[in-house]
Structure 1
Amino acid sequence: MRIIYIHQYFLTPKEGGATRSYHLAKGLVEQGIEVDMISTHNQAFYDLKIIDGIRVHYLPIPYDQRFGFLKRIWAFYRFTRSAKSWIKKLPRPDYLYITSTPLTTGLIGLWAKRKFALPYIFEVRDLWPDAPIQVGAIRNPLIKKLLYALEKRIYQQAIKIVALSPGIASNIRKKCPQANLHIIPNFADAEIFKKEEKSATLLKKFGLKNTLTISYTGAIGQVNVVDEILKLAHLSKKQKLPFQFLVMGRGSKLPDLLEKAKSQNLENFHLIPFGSKKEVAEVLNQSDVAFISFDQLPILRTNSPNKFFDAIAAGKVILVNHKGWIYDLVKQYEIGFYFHPSNPEEGLKILTKLHENPSKMEKIQQNAKTLSDRFFTKEIAIKKLLMVIYPEKFGGETRDEVYILTA
């Protein structure tokens, strides 16, 4: 079997960031499926690399989170056009496996199905156009109408759809009831993210003390509201509590975050530069609590954030600021607490109780690790994807129910 896998932002564990496509594609290759990955890089030339058996075609299309709206749209358009030309050059696949965002990647599937009768599977990581519309990036009524029509058509024409969360799946069902839908959530690499004791060497490396540590690892963009962690840092400093707060990441809002921390003289706040998955694991292993934050937009409650799955694989208490399906997991499996952005005092009380009761914290951390091992490993995700792509060989069908919350 041959697959052309389309992901505009393909990343490896060494590069850091969202590495889902790397692990899934590698898992397909290990089962004898040929995979050509069409992606991009910020270079002025085309490049081909063989990465763990995946043939990765890097197209010269620059992209940066700091790009303005029009510049992003131009990058999306260029990728769609260039990916089509490479599909024509490559040997005919059995399927296209297309992952969003952006939604415009679905145009590639519509084109390939119409021109070559190529079936495509569409993976929905985030709900477009709902997300940019709720954020306020798209306001024009006509553009909204066109994008919703495009979204529906992409779902209708896909042979199968993979959703990354129950909330995403529910939204798709409402728009396209006949969709052949499967849920394959995000996951962590258990070979990298493990529950380990704090390291004196790494504490020294990061300039940290061996005390209660709360960390955020991930994107620092408009919807991430990472500055909410500063509310806890400020209160902690005010009450002279020995807690420390870490942020490891990059994004358009990083300068604002640093300026706010500087203006409040938060000596208990530490920024660690963005790094590889191994470096993220090092940061988590010096932490006790992982802060998972998103803006209070309904659509963001459906997210399947990598930072959450990395954190539970590393056995961390979860402090989540929004009531989506991640909150449901936190509550049902007793792996953490809810942080109300308008009541940081209550959040600090939670942290203080954890600090005063190490055995309780250890139990919660073990609950998190158990949940990760039970549902959210790359091996489980690969097995489910194989059943979606090649049921004749790998048998069965994945369930599209909210099995995570009922098992």
Structure 2
Amino acid sequence: MRVLYVHQYFNTPEDGGCIRSYHLARGLVAAGHEVTMITSHNGPSQSCDIEGIKVHYLQVPYANKFGFIRRIWAYLDFVRQSKRKVRQLDQSFDLAYVMTTPLTTGLIALHLKEVYNIPYYFEVGDLWPEAPIKMGAIKSGFLKQLLYRFEKKCYFEAQKVIALSPAIRNYIEASCPETNVYVVTNIADVKRFEPTHKLQHFNAEQPLHVGYLGTFGAANDLDNLIKVARACAAQHVPVKFTLMGSGGQYARIAKKSQSLANTTVLPFGNTAEVEKLMEQLDVCYVSFKNLEILNTGSPNKFFDGLAAGKLIITNFGGWIRNLIEKNQCGFYHDPTESEDFIRKIREFVDNPHLLHTYQKNARTLAENYYSKELQVQKLLNIMSNQKHMSVSDSEVYILTA
């Protein structure tokens, strides 16, 4: 098939960040499909071949620190330039694979179907507009209703919807029951990591190492992680914290951490730098505000943590909390109660055998359910209308959540 893949924030391992679309596109190429990628970056527009993927970069400046209006402008500019690029390509495509966020890529999907009669798959990793509405970023009642109608139209017109989590699938099926929804989660690239599960004894000289790798944004609730670090320092709990990433709140979080000897904040790193830090960690911390709508997500660093065989800690509920608790590879703590974190982390500080077991369980979960090969194969099966893997998405959810 000739596949037009649309992802506004396509990254390679050298770029860093989420490289899901890179892995899926490469998987499609390896299976014999022709893949044309339309994406954006801050540099000049250009086209190139990346491991068999024909990539067209559009110049659409964007940064996590952008305010709401400037972000919307970047989203709409990408829509405008993408439509023009498709017209310039003057190619026939059998299928479009359109990835959110942002939801505005749905305008491209609808345009492709209406103007060029190209059926599309619509991938949903975050529930827009529900998430920004619940967080208070969108207040106009008229705009809310407009966005909800647009969201449902994107789902309804899609040949298939690809949800990144069972929770997202459930939401879409409830709001748009006539839609065909499938789950292809984010990827645990087990071949990138060689976990070293060795027993360690922790003390002030050799503390347990907790790492947060990801976005420093309003939705990530990193202020409470700094409070946890401060409480650990005050009570002499041998835990070291490292935060790596970028975002609108990076400078403020870095400043708040300066007085803490047990906390280091590092700038955004590419895939190699993330791997290097992950190797040093004992624990992968996944952080979001504990809002029900944010509990549906599928953060890629969570899957990196599983692949690397790390104890997983979350400060929010939902399917990921259920997953790690059922499979004994992590725990949830109340983000408003630092003592809850301290009580639970002490079990692993004082019992290296327990930490060792949870870390091995994390790696096993990654290998059995979330490896790159399994997720690519699921997508290929969906495209060829084959039955899913021997264990279906719903069965995995029952087994693991």
1:296 maps to 2:286: no
Counterpart mapping for 1:90-105 below 5 A: 90=89, 91-105=91-105
Distance (whole Å) between structure 2 residues aligned to residue 373 and residue 400 of structure 1: 15
Q: Which runs of 4+ in 1 moved over 2 A?
A: 208-211, 395-407
Deviates more, 1:314-323 or 1:395-404: 395-404
Percent identity between the aligned chains? 42
1:258 maps to 2:247: no
Residue aligning to 2:83 = 84
> What SS does the aligned partner of 1:406 have?
helix
Residue aligning to 1:403 = 396
Residue of structure 2 aligned with 1:347, choices 341, 349, 353: 341
The answer on whether the counterparts of 1:197 and 1:285 sit within 8 Å (CA) in structure 2 is no
Residue aligning to 1:70 = 69
Distance (whole Å) between structure 2 residues aligned to residue 253 and residue 196 of structure 1: 33
1:197 shift after superposition: 6.1
Residue aligning to 2:46 = 47
1:349 shift after superposition: 1.8
The answer on whether the counterparts of 1:10 and 1:39 sit within 8 Å (CA) in structure 2 is yes
Distance (whole Å) between structure 2 residues aligned to residue 98 and residue 246 of structure 1: 34
TM-score, normalised on structure 1? 0.93
1:152 shift after superposition: 0.6
Distance (whole Å) between structure 2 residues aligned to residue 134 and residue 193 of structure 1: 36
Give ranges in structure 2 of 5+ residues lacking alignment.
199-203
Residue aligning to 1:203 = none
Residue aligning to 1:171 = 171
Distance (whole Å) between structure 1 residues aligned to residue 374 and residue 170 of structure 2: 22
Distance (whole Å) between structure 2 residues aligned to residue 251 and residue 143 of structure 1: 26
1:147 maps to 2:147: yes
> What SS does the aligned partner of 2:215 have?
coil
Q: After superposition, give the CA deviation of every residue in 1:61-114 in whole Å (9 maximum; x if it has no partner).
A: 111111111111111111111111122232111000000011110111111111
Query: Aligned AA for 1:176?
Result: C
Residue aligning to 1:221 = 217
Residue aligning to 2:55 = 56
Deviates more, 1:61-70 or 1:276-285: 276-285
> What SS does the aligned partner of 2:190 have?
coil
Structure 1 residues 59 and 209: CA distance shift in structure 2, 3 A: farther
Query: Aligned AA for 1:143?
Result: L
TM-score, normalised on structure 2? 0.95
1:242 shift after superposition: 2.5
Residue aligning to 2:135 = 135
1:241 shift after superposition: 2.6
1:403 shift after superposition: 2.3
Query: Aligned AA for 2:3?
Result: I
The answer on whether the counterparts of 2:64 and 2:246 sit within 8 Å (CA) in structure 1 is no
Distance (whole Å) between structure 1 residues aligned to residue 194 and residue 162 of structure 2: 27
Query: Aligned AA for 2:248?
Result: S
Distance (whole Å) between structure 1 residues aligned to residue 398 and residue 362 of structure 2: 14
The answer on whether the counterparts of 1:39 and 1:58 sit within 8 Å (CA) in structure 2 is yes
Counterpart mapping for 1:321-336 below 5 A: 321-336=315-330
Distance (whole Å) between structure 2 residues aligned to residue 17 and residue 389 of structure 1: 26
Distance (whole Å) between structure 2 residues aligned to residue 121 and residue 297 of structure 1: 28
Residue aligning to 2:230 = 234
Deviates more, 1:77-86 or 1:300-309: 77-86
Residue aligning to 1:375 = 369
Equivalenced residues, count = 392
Give ranges in structure 1 of 5+ residues lacking alignment.
199-207
1:400 shift after superposition: 5.1
Query: Aligned AA for 1:65?
Result: N
1:396 shift after superposition: 2.3
1:191 shift after superposition: 2.0
Residue of structure 2 aligned with 1:387, choices 375, 381, 385: 381
> What SS does the aligned partner of 1:256 have?
helix
Query: Aligned AA for 1:368?
Result: A
1:401 shift after superposition: 2.3
Structure 1 residues 300 and 402: CA distance shift in structure 2, 3 A: farther
Distance (whole Å) between structure 2 residues aligned to residue 227 and residue 304 of structure 1: 21
1:297 shift after superposition: 1.4
Distance (whole Å) between structure 1 residues aligned to residue 274 and residue 28 of structure 2: 26
The answer on whether the counterparts of 1:192 and 1:278 sit within 8 Å (CA) in structure 2 is no
1:229 shift after superposition: 1.8
Q: After superposition, give the CA deviation of every residue in 1:185-210 in whole Å (9 maximum; x if it has no partner).
A: 11122221331369xxxxxxxxx964
Q: After superposition, give the CA deviation of every residue in 1:159-198 in whole Å (9 maximum; x if it has no partner).
A: 0110001111111011110111100111122221331369
The answer on whether the counterparts of 2:224 and 2:336 sit within 8 Å (CA) in structure 1 is no
> What SS does the aligned partner of 2:187 have?
coil
1:232 shift after superposition: 2.1
Residue aligning to 1:274 = 268
Residue aligning to 2:201 = none
Query: Aligned AA for 2:361?
Result: N
> What SS does the aligned partner of 2:394 have?
coil
1:344 shift after superposition: 1.1
Distance (whole Å) between structure 1 residues aligned to residue 394 and residue 373 of structure 2: 20
Distance (whole Å) between structure 2 residues aligned to residue 84 and residue 332 of structure 1: 45
Distance (whole Å) between structure 2 residues aligned to residue 145 and residue 231 of structure 1: 38
Distance (whole Å) between structure 2 residues aligned to residue 171 and residue 354 of structure 1: 35
